[in-house]
A = this chain, B = another copy of it.
Amino acid sequence: VYEKLDFPAESGGSDQRMDVRLEDVARRAKVSVSTASRVVNGLESVSGSTRRRVLAALEELNYMPNLQARSLVSGQSKTLGVIVSNLENPFFIDLFRLLEEQAHEQGFEILLANTNYDPKHLERAIRTMLGRRVAGLAIAVSEPLPQEVHEAVRAKIPVVCFGGKDNDQMELGRVRLDTHAGMRKLVEHLHALGHRSMAYVGHQLSLATTEERREAFEETTRRLGIEYTYLAVLERDGPGAGRDAVRELVHRGIDVSAILCLNDNTAIGVLRELRNRNLRVPEDISVTGFDDVILSEFSCPSLTTVHIPRREIARMMFRMLTARDSPTPPPMQYLIDSEVVIRESTGPYRGGGLLLRAEEAEAQ
């Protein structure tokens, strides 16, 4: 269904510039461009009467400064670049929103790029952002950091990453999350509930923070002497991946009583697939997520997960990005605590497990 309508005529040549320039304002106010510029920028040294004239002209012409020209001169652009791997994950949305909030308060805009886990996209995104001479670059991706990041550092553009290993690059700001502690507590929580066989559902794309989750899982289960563990590592992320993980576990005959997921988004898919198989959570099997996105509170059952203080993360990243101008430079490495949030999806071990109904089904 659609209606074809006339396309607005390109009246008067398409290459014609329609912008109101400072020169137009100056002419109208009968002052020089310099003076007009001063008024626009609110500099003191302009007499009341001229200021008023310029202000009036500004208003009448509805002048909007050409930010490109401005930042070409100043060498700075009140724009921050933000790059993430997966905008489907609500955690990154939250991060973006909080960064934007911070940025707006300080008069910055945000250029956003979503790499979709594609290293080529990441390279491109960084290149263009550097080309735009962003004032800073916030990166939260799973892909390894490309060469371009060094260019950024060389060009003295502040770069801050969420996650990433150690302090290999002094020039890069790093905000890291103590996910190890979070995952450890999660395993301990399940262990205390009597669970002795657990599976971890992760993905191959390794953001350092998610990688740590897997390591922490392995380490803690080993330490606690959990009898049976299994790693399901998928290529993708999201609810679909969670569903597939459960199918694979069942298919392989992996009988665990608890499934730990690398994030909430994946856990949602796990919950759904368990329900399809008539397994009750947490009566038959326990499930955990990670991130504490808003949805984990509204899923059925609600998710036991690890809360990540997004606001704190965004604030630190922003502070690092704007450290240059700050009288109190922040540390360029920052580790953030995580905390377990216990909801409905985990419960005491009661002899159930992933294959509970599968056996029933076969018996029939």
Contacts and interface: CB of A to CB of B under 8 A. Distances in A.
Interface of A: 1-5, 7-8, 10, 14-19, 62, 64-69, 71-72, 75, 77, 79, 87-88, 93, 96-97, 100, 104, 109-114, 121, 124, 127-128, 130-133, 151, 154-156, 167, 170-171, 178, 238-240, 243, 268-269, 271-272, 275, 294-295, 297-300, 302, 323-324, 329, 331-337
A64 B272 contact: no
A3 B275 contact: no
Given A14-B324, A18-B155, A96-B87, A104 B121 contact: yes
Nearest to A124: B104
Contacts of A300: 271-272, 275, 299-300
Given A88-B93, A110-B112, A331-B4, A155 B19 contact: yes
Contacts of A77: 68
Contacts of A324: 10, 14
Q: How many copies does the complex hold?
A: 2
Contacts of A7: 323, 329, 331-332
Nearest to A154: B18
A316 to B, nearest CB: 9
6 contacts: A4-B331, A7-B323, A93-B93, A239-B294, A239-B297, A299-B299
Contacts of A19: 133, 155
Nearest to A121: B104
Q: Which 3 A-B residue pairs are closest in the complex by CB-CB distance?
A: A67-B131, A7-B329, A239-B298
Given A2-B331, A3-B331, A298-B268, A114 B127 contact: no
A130 B67 CA distance: 9
Contacts of A1: 178, 335-337
Contacts of A155: 18-19
Given A272-B298, A272-B300, A300-B299, A131 B65 contact: yes
Nearest to A67: B131
Contacts of A272: 298-300, 302
Contacts of A2: 331, 333-335
A191 B77 CA distance: 57
Contact of A331 (B5, B238, B239): B5
Contacts of A14: 156, 324
A66 B62 contact: no
Contacts of A240: 294
A111 B124 CA distance: 15
B336 A17 contact: no
